[in-house]
Amino acid sequence: MPTTDAVVTYGWLFLAFYLVVIAGLGYWGWKRTGTQDDYATARGGFGFLALGFAYAATVASGSTFMGIPGMAYDMGFKAGYYALIYPIGAYLGIMLVARITKKVGDEAGSQSIPDFLGDRFKSPVIRLMASLVALFLLFYVMSQIVAAGWMFDTILGIDYTVGIWAAAGMLLLYLTLGGSHADIITDAVQGAIMVGITILIFAMFLTGWGFDGGVSAVNANLDAGQQWDTHTDSENPIFANWWVIFLLFVGHIGFTAQPHLGNKFFAIKGTQYMKKFFIVAAVAGMTLPLMFLGGVLGAAQGIEIADPDAIIPVLFIETLPAVFAAFLGVAILSAIISTADGLIISVAQIFANDLYRKTYVPWKGGDPSSPAVNQRALLISRVATVVVTIVAVAAVMTPPQYLSVFMWIGIGGIISAYSGPYFVGSLDESTSKKAAIIGFVAGFAVYAVIHLGPQMGLYDSIAGFSLFPYSENPYASSGIGFIVSCVSTYLGSKFTEPMAVEDRNEVFRGTTELSDGGRVESDD
């Protein structure tokens, strides 16, 4: 890596300042964390502006700042289909479910999306199934750790292996103390910085940084297959045809079903702030993917790197003064951390809340709301935070290729399983528990057959029919899983007994006043 001594020196100075800031925010969060619910959700603790930036930063992740530019470095402008389509799908998903998740989740005291699904359908079985599938988030955690490791390697001159452990130490510095309060406030600050960096990359691209002739010169210096008039490539599973590109959009509608995103809705002060929250999150979230243009610019400049995911920090080092390159590199590192922290909190809640407090304790005849159980769950949350972080680091000692693809191994499984119960169940309160289970199992099964099986090397075709590009394209596979899960849940609700009226009124208290379907929104 072309790291200079000046970049390393400035980088360490900026990192030291950043460590002081996050340690202080961790203490701030610790002072506001007295219960398991505080640690898991920071319920009602934030306004729309902070939470909007935090949500956008969490959606964007290390993939947006490293994985997608890395894809663009290798594939050129066609990677822009991923970068520009995914936020449209993701924020459409928010519009469909955020408000009802907030209302029902707060009423029931849900602490995660698996917990919300269990409360929504009054089903411990669905909660348990959703909790086990949510463990796929570990792939997402691992991808963020990898991205952080490359940033340490590129900007600070630390070997990748040491860098991933350093990233783990940074996360644990504030997460074990402050939980969701620390997670959200750090994400909000990082989200605002991320928007600024994206605007810089966009300006560099528009001016044709390093070229005479602006954007046209950038395009002219790309290989023919990378230029903006090349849209699909039959040999590239991600952009093989227009159908898989459309499925990329469909799959991302279910993106917000992920536990580390859905639980952010519990933290907003009230449903009256939902519209403003959505506007802030959507504007920031649709700006951030323009980072892919940095990968295009790096490819046009002929920058040579061993790992495509490192193109953005290398571009900074090679084209900007050392002090700016170091600052921007550490800022991107903080952005990566902003996603990893929420993910780790969510995985920790699988053990502390979903499996222990809401499953094991009732099974043993205990009271899940007792003070002793809540304090024990808080302890489990903090211990699980440490364990999950260490396991994630140990699993990526050898980094995978293309973070944006690797992390979707887990994301796709969650989307395919959750989408029917979450989306159909949120939009139609008569949806039955049996229908939700049908949709859950059907969606996950299809995703497992067309993507996970081939990825595990078990087969690459069924009955002589090739599974390409779905075997290599988690986005398209997730899109199919989303459709199957939603359709199966909807059809299942037509052939099973609808949820009892009294149960619906209990679950949707404050939103449902009708006795036979439909929804009436109460005043906020």
What CATH number does the domain containing 209 carry? Answer: 1.20.1730.10
Specify which residues 461 forms β-bridges with. Answer: 466
Provide the 3-class DSSP secondary structure of residue 486: helix
Q: Give how many domains the chain has, as a whole number.
A: 1
pLDDT tens for the chain, residues 1 to 524: 445 788 889 999 998 998 888 788 778 888 888 888 888 888 888 999 999 999 998 888 767 888 899 999 999 999 999 999 999 999 999 999 999 999 999 998 898 899 999 999 999 999 999 999 998 888 888 888 888 888 888 888 889 899 999 989 888 877 777 788 888 888 888 888 889 999 999 999 999 998 988 899 999 999 999 999 999 999 999 999 999 999 999 999 999 998 888 888 999 988 889 999 999 999 999 999 999 999 999 999 999 988 888 899 899 988 889 998 888 888 888 777 767 887 888 899 899 999 999 999 999 999 998 999 999 998 999 899 999 999 999 988 887 665 556 677 778 999 999 999 999 999 999 999 999 999 999 999 999 999 999 988 899 999 889 999 999 999 999 999 999 999 999 999 999 999 999 999 999 875 444 334 444 444 33
Asked if 37 contacts 350 with a C-beta cutoff of 8 angstroms, the reply is no
Report the C-alpha gap between 255 and 261 in whole angstroms: 8
Spell out where 394-517 has E strands.
Answer: 461-462, 465-466
Note whether residue 522 is domain-resident.
no
- Do you know the residue count of the chain? 524
Residue with tokens 């996360």: 171
Residue with tokens 């949707």: 508
Note whether residue 512 is domain-resident.
no
Note whether residue 464 is domain-resident.
yes
Confidence (pTM): 0.86
Note whether residue 60 is domain-resident.
yes
Note whether residue 516 is domain-resident.
no
- Mark 295-324 as b/e (b = at least 16 C-beta within 10 Å): bbbbbbbebebebbbbbbbbbbbebbebee
Helix pair 48-62, 160-206: axis angle to 10 deg: 110
Note whether residue 234 is domain-resident.
yes
Note whether residue 370 is domain-resident.
yes
For residue 129, give both structure tokens.
């199934």
Report the C-alpha gap between 332 and 324 in whole angstroms: 12
Domain that holds residue 387: 5-507
Nearest in space to 53 (alpha carbons), one of 190, 245, 202: 190
